[in-house]
Structure 1
C-alpha cells in the first residue's frame, strides 16, 4: 500500500513538472498549493479534467450535418424578384467593409439600415453616399433587441414590398475573444462573398419552397450550440403563432442571425407585433434575452409558413469537406436538399 502511494505521488510530481515547465517552477507551485489546501490541494490541481460534455442530443453529429457548397458550378442569372437588405449598423465604422460585400449582389438591392443615434446615422449615410444599386434609408431606434427588434419590427412596413430580403448587421463579438474575432467575415463571405455565391443563394431560393438560406455554423460554435436559457421564451413565442415545440426537439437556427430569405417566410414572427419595449434593456448579455429567443425561433416559423430551409458553406472556410454538397446543375438541388434540410416540426 505504501509503495503504491509512493508511485502515485511520483506520477503526480511528474505531471506537475511537465505542466509547469520544470522542477523548480513545479516545486514552487506545489508549495503554494500545499499551503492553500494541504495534500488535497495538490491532488485537486492534478486531477484530470472532466470529459467534455457530449454534444446535445438534438443536434446532428458534425459529419452528418450537410450544407450546399457555394458557389454552384454555374448558377443561373438572377430573376426578376425584388430584393432588399435589412441591416442593423450599431458599429458604423464597419459600414465601408459591409458596402464592399453588398456590391457583390447582382442587380438591384435597396438598403434599410437601422442604428441607435443621429450621430451614427450621419456616419452611415456618409459611408453609403453614392450607392447606386438602389435606395438607402436609415432609421434611428432605441438600443433594444440588438439587430432582431429593428429587423423584424422597426422595418415591419418594408417586407411586403419585396420578394427577398437579406438580414445583415455590423457584428462584433468581444465576449468571444480570438475564436470569434473572424465570425463577422465568415458570415459575410458565405452570404455575399462573390456575385457567384449570391447567385447560388438566389438559385436555392427558387427551388422546393426554400424560404431561408443561411451559413453553415462557424465550426468553433458547434459544440456549444443549444437552447441555453432561451427554450421557454422561444416556445412562448412559437405558441403565440400556433406552433408547438418540446424541449427535445431538433434544434437548428441561423447562428449570428444573418441570412437570405423569402420575405413571407418571416410573416409568422412579424405578425406577433412585438415592440421595442418587449425586448430586454441592453446590458451586454450574451444569452437569455428575447432577441436570443427569436433567433432560435426563426426556422420553426419558416417551416410553419410552409417553407423549407437550407445551409450553405464555402469549402475553404469549413474543415469537413465531406459534408459539402456541390451543385453542378440546378437538377442537383432537390437531391442535395434531401440531405441538407432536416424537418424541425415533423
Structure 2
C-alpha cells in the first residue's frame, strides 16, 4: 500500500530510508491530500470517513490499523485536477536563490504556534530575518528563546500588538516599511479552527507545510522566484477540505469594491484565486498600494469580527488581483501532484464532471430543495435586468423617461427605497415597487401596475429551462422525494410558479418565495424558517441545490444545512476562460447583451464543466 520510490518521485522528496519516507507520509497525510502509492487515495478516504479527518489521523494508517477490519473501503489514487502551465524549478538551491534577502513575518495569537513556527524552519534552505507580532506580552520570553539563537534566523524583531486588524493589521502597521527592503517575505499567522468538539489545526498545518516546513517545496519556490522576476505572489492551492465555493468573493463584494477603488483595480471575477487563510509569499512590489502605505490600528475594524464580510476578508481576496495589477503572476503549489503551476484552474476544479456522478449522493436525502433562477430556469440573455431595460426602452420612446438605462436605475432605486424603509426586514413585492414608481413618475397606480405586468411578461418570455436540472427535479419527484423550491424574488408565488411551469417543472413541490414568506435566503432569515419547518415535519435528511454562493451555500451552511452548489452561468463562462463581459455599464448595453447574453446562457445551461 506504500510505495517509497513512487512517493519520493511524485512529491520531489529524498529520504535515507523507506521508514523515513513512510513517516513523512503518515505526518503529512493527516492534513494534506498526499497519496502513499497509486493504490490508495488519501483524500477520498478522509471525505468518506469524516471521523478519521476530525481525529487528525493518517488515512492509510487508520485503514491498516482499523478501517480494513471495520469493512471501510478505499479507492485507487485519483488526480482531481491536472494543472497546466507547470513550473519546474530545480530541486537544489541555486546561487541566485541563496542570495535572496528573505523575511518571515509571523503573527502569533496562540502561543503554541511559536514552537510550531520555530520547528518548521529548522531545515530552512536560507537564513531569514524574523519579524514577530505577539498578541500578549507574556509570549515575548518564549519567542526570544526560540528565535533569538535559532540557527536559521539572522535578525529578530518582536512587537506586542493589540487585537485589532487580525493578521493583516499588525504586519502592515508594524513592519510594512521594513519589509520593503527584502526581495521576498512570507507572512503566516497562528490559525485554529474549533469544531467537532476539539481543536482542529489541519488547515494551519497544511499552510505551514507548504509555506515554511517542506524543504523541497521551499527550495524550489526560492529557485522559481530567483529565476523569474514575473512571479510576484505564491501560496498553495486552497485547503482541500474547504467548500467548493470558497474561492469566491462571498459576502465581501461591498468591501472589495472599496478596495478596488482604493487600489485602482479593474474587474475582479466572482471566483478568484487568493491566499485563503491569509498566508503567502510575496515580493514587496507586488503588494504596492497596501504594504507601502502608512497604517494605524484605527484603520482596521474592532473585534469581534464576523466569520466573513469585513474589509480584512476582502483584503485577503484582493491580494491576487493586486499582484496581477502590478504585472506579476501568481504561483501555486498543488500538493496532490507535487507540482508548481501558474494555472488558477483549481478554483473551479470541483465543478468538473457530470451530473450523473452526483445523483446517488443527492438521492440519499429525503427532501431536496432547489433555487429557481440560474438553477432550474435561465434567462435567454442571462442579464436579469434585461426585461427592465426592454420596458425602459418602450417608456423612453414615449418620452416618459430619458433613457432605458435611466428607467432601470429608477426601477431598482424604488426597490432599494422600499427595502430601506422596511429596515431591510422581510422582502418587497413587485406590485409595491411599481406603486413607488407611480409616485416618483407622477403616473396613476393603474398605469404603473400595467408597467409591472409588462416587465413580468417580458421576463417570462425570456425564461428557458436548465434542462438537466429540470430533468433531475422531475426524476427526484418520480422517485418519491419531497421537493421544495425556494427563491429570493420580488415576484409573487403565482408568477414564479408560471415560470417554473414554462421551464417544464411538472412535479408537485412546495414553493417558498421571499416576497410571500417575508424572509430572504441571502440574509439567512429564510433559512431559519426552512430549518424550523424541516424540524416540524420530522425531516432530517435535507439538501439544498442552488447557484448563489451566499444565498444558496454560505448562509444555509452556516446554519448547519447541507448544500450542493452549482455554477452560475457567468461563473462557468469565466471558468472556461472566456473573456469577462457584461460587467459594469456593459450589463445595460443592449448591443452587448445581444452579443454575449445568449452565448453565456447556452454555455451555462448545464452547470458542470466538461459536460
- With normalisation by structure 2, the TM-score equals 0.40
Q: Distance in 2 between matches of 1:204 and 1:279?
A: 34
| Counterpart for residue 215 of structure 2 | 195
Q: Distance in 1 between matches of 2:315 and 2:205?
A: 23
What is the root-mean-square deviation of aligned Cα atoms in Å?
A: 3.1
Whether 1:66 aligns to 2:71 is no
**Counterpart pick for 1:156 among 159, 176, 196:** 176
Q: 1:233: Cα distance to partner?
A: 0.8
Task: Check 1:167–1:262 CA distance in 2 against 1; reply closer, same or farther (3 A cut).
Answer: same
Whether 1:264 aligns to 2:285 is yes
- Computing the radius of gyration from Cα coordinates, the structure with the larger value is 2
Q: 1:104: Cα distance to partner?
A: 2.8
Q: 1:288: Cα distance to partner?
A: 1.6
Contact 1:235 1:244 in 2 (8 A): no
Q: Distance in 1 between matches of 2:326 and 2:318?
A: 13
**Counterpart pick for 2:111 among 89, 92, 110:** 92
Q: 1:272: Cα distance to partner?
A: 4.5
Task: Check 1:340–1:325 CA distance in 2 against 1; reply closer, same or farther (3 A cut).
Answer: farther
| Counterpart for residue 109 of structure 1 | 128
Q: 1:338: Cα distance to partner?
A: 5.7
Q: 1:73: Cα distance to partner?
A: 6.3
C-alpha distance after superposition, 1:197-249 (max 9, x if no partner): 11111122232501011011111114141222212112211211111335x44
Whether 1:282 aligns to 2:282 is no
Contact 2:180 2:284 in 1 (8 A): yes
Q: Distance in 2 between matches of 1:261 and 1:64?
A: 25
Whether 1:166 aligns to 2:186 is yes
Q: 1:314: Cα distance to partner?
A: 2.5
Q: 1:282: Cα distance to partner?
A: 1.7
Task: Check 1:115–1:340 CA distance in 2 against 1; reply closer, same or farther (3 A cut).
Answer: same
| Counterpart for residue 337 of structure 1 | 342
C-alpha distance after superposition, 1:46-78 (max 9, x if no partner): xxxxxxxxxxxxxxxx95573898996634433
Which 5+ residue runs of structure 1 have no aligned equivalent?
1-61, 316-320, 327-335
C-alpha distance after superposition, 1:3-32 (max 9, x if no partner): xxxxxxxxxxxxxxxxxxxxxxxxxxxxxx
Task: Check 1:93–1:69 CA distance in 2 against 1; reply closer, same or farther (3 A cut).
Answer: farther
SS at match of 2:100: coil
Whether 1:122 aligns to 2:141 is yes
Task: Check 1:73–1:242 CA distance in 2 against 1; reply closer, same or farther (3 A cut).
Answer: closer
SS at match of 1:218: coil
Runs of 4+ in 1 over 3 A off after TM superposition: 62-73, 175-181, 271-274, 336-346
| Counterpart for residue 209 of structure 1 | 230
Contact 1:214 1:312 in 2 (8 A): yes
Aligned pairs for 1:315-330 (under 5 A) are 315=336, 321=337, 325=339
Structure number with greater CO (CA < 8 Å, separation at least 6) is: 1
Contact 2:90 2:223 in 1 (8 A): no
Q: Distance in 2 between matches of 1:295 and 1:177?
A: 28
- With normalisation by structure 1, the TM-score equals 0.69
Aligned pairs for 1:173-184 (under 5 A) are 173-174=193-194, 181-184=201-204
Contact 1:208 1:308 in 2 (8 A): no
Contact 2:249 2:270 in 1 (8 A): no
Q: 1:295: Cα distance to partner?
A: 0.5
Q: 1:171: Cα distance to partner?
A: 1.4
Task: Check 1:303–1:69 CA distance in 2 against 1; reply closer, same or farther (3 A cut).
Answer: closer
